Amino acid sequence: MAKRSIAKKTTTRRAKKAAKRQTTARVRSARPVPLSSVIFSGASPSPADVIAIPPTSTFNQGLSSADERTMLRLLDVPGAKSRDCTPVTGPIRRRIKSRVDVGPFNVSGLDIAVDSLKAAFDEASEQIPDVVALVKTAGMLCVRAKRTNPNSFSNHSWGTALDLFFGQGVIPQGSPKTYRGCLQLAPFLNRHGWYWGAGFSGRSVDSMHFELAKETIERAVRREA
Ligand SMILES: [Zn+2]
C-alpha cells in the first residue's frame, strides 16, 4: 500500500515537472534571452550563480575608478596605510556615517557614499527585490593599503567602496567571474555614480568591489565648495 502511494506521488511529480518545463519553454521563446542566461547553462538562474564577467563595454559607462592621487587631493589622508583595518584619523572622520541601514544591511562609510548607496538600493528593491534580498556585504569602511599594492591606499580607506557577495563566500580579486547578483545590481549602482571593480584589468579585476567613481566624488566636492 505504502509502496503504491510513493509510486503514485513520483508519477505526479514527474508529470508536474514536464508541464513546468513546457511552460518555461513557452515563456523563454516569447522574449529575448539576456546575455547572462546564455553564459549560465543550469536550470533556474539565481543571483548566487557564478558566471563570467561580461565585456567591460557593457557597464561603467562614463565612470572611472577614483585613483589614489584624486582621493588624496579631494579627501586628504584618511589614516595609516596599514595591512589590516585601522581607525580613521584624517579630516574625513567627521564625515563618516556609522552603521546606517541602506536596505539589505548596515554600513559605515563617507556621508555621500552612504546616502547614494541607500538611494541605489531603494531603486533596486523596487525592480529586483529578489536580488536585494540575497545580497551580503564583505565590508565598506576600512583604512588600509590595497591588497595588490601596499604603497597605495585602498578606496575602502575613505569609506567610498563596498564589497558585495551572494551565497557562501566572496569571489576573490583576480578571478574573471562574478555572482550574477552583482551583475544585476551593477546598472543601479552605475546609475548612482558607482564604478564596478569588474572593470579593473588583469589580476586587479574585482567583481565584489564597487566604489564611488572619480567623476562622482569630483562632482560632490565641487558642489560642497
Ligand atoms: Zn573592495
- Cβ-Cβ contacts under 8 Å for 18 (sequence gap 6 or more): none
Do the beta carbons of residue 111 and residue 93 sit within 8 Å? no
Ion ligand 1, residues whose Cβ is below 5 A away: 161, 163, 209
**Distance, CA of 65 to CA of 88 (rounded, Å):** 22
Q: How far is the CA of 210 from the centre of ligand 1 (A)?
A: 6
Q: How far is the CA of 213 from the centre of ligand 1 (A)?
A: 13
User: The whole model's pTM is what?
Assistant: 0.81
User: 50-224 — its CATH code?
Assistant: 3.30.1380
Do the beta carbons of residue 123 and residue 189 sit within 8 Å? no
Q: Which three cell numbers stand for residue 29?
A: 521563446
pLDDT at 76: 98
Q: Which three cell numbers stand for residue 87?
A: 581607525
Q: How far is the CA of 45 from the centre of ligand 1 (A)?
A: 25
- Cβ-Cβ contacts under 8 Å for 145 (sequence gap 6 or more): 81, 82, 83, 151, 152, 153, 154
> Computed over its alpha carbons, how large is the radius of gyration of the chain?
21
Q: How far is the CA of 113 from the centre of ligand 1 (A)?
A: 14
Q: How far is the CA of 141 from the centre of ligand 1 (A)?
A: 9
Three-state secondary structure call for residue 154 = coil
Question: What are 82-132's pLDDT values in tens digits?
Answer: 999 999 999 999 999 999 999 999 999 999 999 999 999 999 999 999 999
Which sequence spans correspond to the domains of the chain?
2-31, 50-224
Q: How far is the CA of 223 from the centre of ligand 1 (A)?
A: 26
Q: How far is the CA of 224 from the centre of ligand 1 (A)?
A: 26
Do the beta carbons of residue 142 and residue 161 sit within 8 Å? no
Q: How far is the CA of 160 from the centre of ligand 1 (A)?
A: 9
Question: What are 34-89's pLDDT values in tens digits?
Answer: 555 555 555 689 999 999 999 999 999 999 999 999 999 999 999 999 999 999 99
**Distance, CA of 87 to CA of 192 (rounded, Å):** 27
Q: Which three cell numbers stand for residue 203?
A: 589580476
Q: How far is the CA of 28 from the centre of ligand 1 (A)?
A: 36
Q: How far is the CA of 16 from the centre of ligand 1 (A)?
A: 44
